[in-house]
Amino acid sequence: MTSDARPVSQPLPAEPDPMEVPGRAIASALVLAVPALILMADVAWAYLRGWWPDTNLEPLGVDLLLLWIALIVLALVSTKGRQFLATHLPQIVLLVVSCGVGLFVAELALGRIQAISGDPYHGRRPGFEVIYHPRPDIMRGVGPEAHVHYNEWGVRGSNPPPRSAAYRILCIGGSSTACTYLDDEKTWPQVLGRVLDEVEPSQKHWVGNAGIPGFQAPQHLRFAEESPVMGEIDCLVVQAGINDFMACLAGPQPLPPTWTRLRLWQLARTGARRYSENSTLVEDTAGDVYRRRRELRAKADQSASLSDISGCLAEYADNLRALVAACQKRDVRVALATQPTLWQDNMADGERALLWFGQMPDGRYLSVEQLRRGMDRYNEVVRAVCRETGAELVAAGLAKQSTESDAAESQTP
């Protein structure tokens, strides 16, 4: 039995009326160009606000937008280009709409994936492990390897025992709490747990570490108000202040372009930071980031003038009061620790070479002496809030210079 069926060829797009070509071509060009022009306007507005990219990815994105617009212009000035744009107007509209819908779906999907498999707030991915190999010429006295483990809560340390078996303490703060380049057993939260067991042998103590480098009092407050971990602990120890001080010193940060907040872009940006040889934001396993940070301070001019930080201190006090209130509301004992640093008057040149904090908006760095005075004022806020709220105070001592404080410029009480 034979079939007379023949393949049906797809009809080619109908040739537009020559009189309609210019109008349809311009319409197609606008459909293609408007998204890029909107994004470029967003970039221009961000630059006018004082924003400046901190990776090579944003300039690459701007270059791609400019290239896209240039190709559209070239198509409009070319006879064949105009013909193509006029002929494919419906397909171009469909393409742009499809890309917009696809981006929207991808953002929703990525948000869901991050919620399921990403880091918990103020923690790391549960079960995450990493081994750091700090260079001895950068990190003094921390050992050739640092084994870092995060438990089922995404908190650094062992899994918590049952509530009836131990008194649960959680420490939060920035890099001086995280102790990134120290082995688990050498971090001050773990040392604290061992000391408490020795001082009070009748009571077992579990101490976890939820320190995140760069986090400030607002992030700690959000953790106290929202984290489900707060319902599982008996005491919260907070060591804050130094990152709040540095943020105040750097001044308000201009908002980046709106499109840089897309989850897809943030994912690409994280990768660009991680693998950039010049990054000063991501802590690599060898500690090279601190060498680059120190070089920036060493090359910059210094200022012996500390600006008015009274507004920042008032905001810091408000955040600490709210944090204490959040802990009290959830029946969690709270202790606030002052922040120790290496900063002292009359430091030797070798010690000063280890420092990297203190950048100001004009590119200069605040002098060591003024950094010390500013930090003292933040620590006094901690003491005042403890007196006012009844929170317990942990007074920190001077940082030892043979520890990770050489890198982080701070150490534990």
Query: Binning pLDDT at 50, 70 and 90, where does residue 380 land?
Result: very high
Q: pLDDT tens digit string along 202-259?
A: 999 999 999 999 999 999 999 999 999 999 999 999 999 999 999 999 998 888 899 8
127-166 tens-digit pLDDT: 999 999 988 888 888 888 999 999 999 999 999 999 899 9
* pLDDT tens per residue across span 358-371: 999 989 999 999 99
pLDDT, one tens digit per residue, over 184-197 is 999 999 999 999 99
Q: Mean of the pLDDT values across residues 367-384?
A: 96
For 16-71, the pLDDT digits (tens) are 555 456 889 999 999 999 999 999 999 999 988 888 887 778 888 889 999 999 99
Amino acid at 359: Q
> Taking the domains of the chain in order of start, what are their residue ranges?
18-117, 129-263+280-408
Q: What's residue 4's pLDDT?
A: 55
Q: How far apart are CA 219 and CA 196, in angstroms?
A: 27
- Answer yes or no: are the C-beta atoms of 240 and 178 closer than 8 Å: no
Classify residue 333 by its DSSP letter.
E
Tell me the mean pLDDT in the region 274-280: 58
- pTM of the shown model: 0.81
Assigned token pair, 94: 């469909």
CA distances from 266 to 110, 114, 254, 278 (A): 11, 12, 17, 19
In 3D space, the residue among 188, 186, 178 whose CA is nearest the CA of residue 142 turns out to be 186
At 111-121, the pLDDT tens digits run: 888 777 778 88
The mean predicted confidence, pLDDT, of the chain is 87
Q: In sequence order, what are the beta bridge partners of 392?
A: 335
Pick the closest to residue 241 from 222, 223, 218 (CA basis). 218
Instruction: Kindly list the distances between the CA atom of residue 349 and the CA atoms of 135, 305, 368, in Å, as whole numbers in the listed order.
Output: 21, 21, 11
- Residue 5's pLDDT band (boundaries 50, 70, 90)? low
Q: Which of 343-347, 362-366, 407-411 has the highest mean pLDDT?
A: 362-366
Instruction: Give the pLDDT band of residue 289 (cuts 50, 70, 90).
Output: confident
**CATH, range 129-263+280-408:** 3.40.50.1110
Q: What is the signed CA dihedral for 213, 218, 219, 224, rounded to 10 degrees?
A: 130
Rg (CA), the chain: 28
What pLDDT was estimated at residue 18? 53
Q: How many whole angstroms separate alpha carbon 382 and alpha carbon 376?
A: 10
